[in-house]
Chains A and B, each alone.
Chain A
Amino acid sequence: MSLVQKARLKSLWVLHYDCGSCNGCDIEILAALTPKFDVERFGIVNIGDPKQADVLLVTGPANRRNQRVLRNLYEQMPEPKLVIAVGTCASTGGIFHNCPNVLGGVDKVVPVDVYIPGCAVRPEQIIDAVVLALDKLAGKAPKEGEQ
């Protein structure tokens, strides 16, 4: 494994965006950052700035209003990047599935790499998902020598 690949696996900066969630999943995400679960020991930092983030953690379903913002944030993240749909709403629309303004899961707007089902998701599941995403990132990471 090249140094760059190793660095990418060991340092994962997160941008957390709430698309319209009831905040249940958001609270669980914040719980994952607290000392009890301490995701910072994996190099995960909630950085809040898309320009410096590697992973976009999205909660809540995509709807007609926030699709523009979601797309915007996704595009302002430099490659390589991942999207993790946290919770049932972000995955498929959840119980808001058939509401008039809801488009469905966030994969209707941005390409999603990992889906976490649950309502609300548990912090352990979030950590599992991030580890799964890291494997994907290792695979995604270009071979040594490429940019």
Chain B
Amino acid sequence: MDAASTIISLVLALATPLMGGVLAGVDRKLTARMQERVGPPLLQPFYDVIKLWAKKPMIASPLQPVLAFGYLGFALVAAGIVTFRQDLLLVLFVTALADICLTVAALSAKSPYSYLGARREFLSMLSYEPVMLLAYVAVFMVTGSFMVQGVLDYGKPLLLVLPAALVALQLVLIVEMKKSPFDVSGSGHAHQELVRGVYTELSGYTMALVEVGHWAKVATTLMVLSLFWAPNPVIGAAVGLTMFFISLVVDNSYPRLTWQRMLKTTWALGFTLIVLNIAALAAGGVI
């Protein structure tokens, strides 16, 4: 790997929070428009985060600051694994590490709402992680490699070969972005079922770190999704952005459902779609 591509990969990884922030702004604008409102300016999420950072520090447990940074830090590491074209399973595992930082930060403050949010966050992880793992296995079966580089080398767009798996990943994206109907653990701004769910006891700079970490996570996932049209990065980005848009439409069409329904839907639908996809490919002689 030469110096130039290393620097590009590094910059791209560190830029994921920025990309995610812009996407968050687009999210709020589009949501507003779907609700026949004007909505906040595109850069609103950045104003939010800067304001949060400048608040007087207040923590609910001594572990929170380190763990809040851990969430952002490990999300960036996961982004780096993608931008350095490494193993996809590793992206999943490091993201899990980030999620654990968040949930333990939420658990470490003895707060009922925070606790409830953390429990539901565990359930969210339980629902989307196996589906994501299976989807990556499907990618391996097609391209012969788990590495992002392998997908790039494959040459053909994965969307044409693994369409059902991509639909399963759409479900995963909705859970990861904490969008209705699966925003059980701590939703966007205007939803208040669990007060702020897993984010309840975060404030000021710890909330800012977690918010930025969330942007990085979403951006990383969208980067992986855009791999489904690897030959043409523009179309690939369009694939990722379309799935992002679909999440918004689903968010504004559905109320929040129970976590039991989330588990059942992601598992039943997710596993079925991917297994059928693989079976079809096997029958067709592709794998």
- Using a CB–CB cutoff of 8 Å, the interface residues on chain A facing chain B are 3-4, 6-8, 10-11, 13, 33, 35, 38, 40-43, 45-49, 51-52, 54, 78-80, 147
Contacts and interface: CB of A to CB of B under 8 A. Distances in A.
Interface residues of B, number: 34
B51 A8 contact: yes
B204 to A, nearest CB: 5
Contacts of B58: 51, 78
Nearest to A6: B47
B86 interface: no
Contact of A38 (B38, B50, B192): B38
A38 B35 CA distance: 10
Interface string B185-203: 0000110100110011111
Interface string B15-38: 000000000000010001001111
Interface string B49-60: 011101111101
A33 B199 CA distance: 22
A49 B202 CA distance: 10
Tell me if B's interface is mostly helix, strand, loop or mixed. Answer: loop
Given A40-B40, A47-B189, A79-B55, A11 B48 contact: yes
Tell me if A's interface is mostly helix, strand, loop or mixed. Answer: mixed
A52 B196 contact: yes
Interface of B: 28, 32, 35-41, 44, 46-48, 50-52, 54-58, 60, 189-190, 192, 195-196, 199-204, 207
Contacts of B41: 10, 41, 43
A49 B32 contact: no
A78 B50 contact: no
A45 B189 contact: yes
Nearest 7 A/B pairs, CB to CB: A51-B203, A7-B50, A79-B56, A10-B47, A11-B47, A35-B37, A48-B192
Contact of A54 (B28, B44, B51): B51
A43 B86 CA distance: 39
Given A7-B47, A10-B44, A46 B190 contact: yes
Contact of A48 (B44, B46, B196): B196
A3 to B, nearest CB: 6
A80 B55 contact: yes
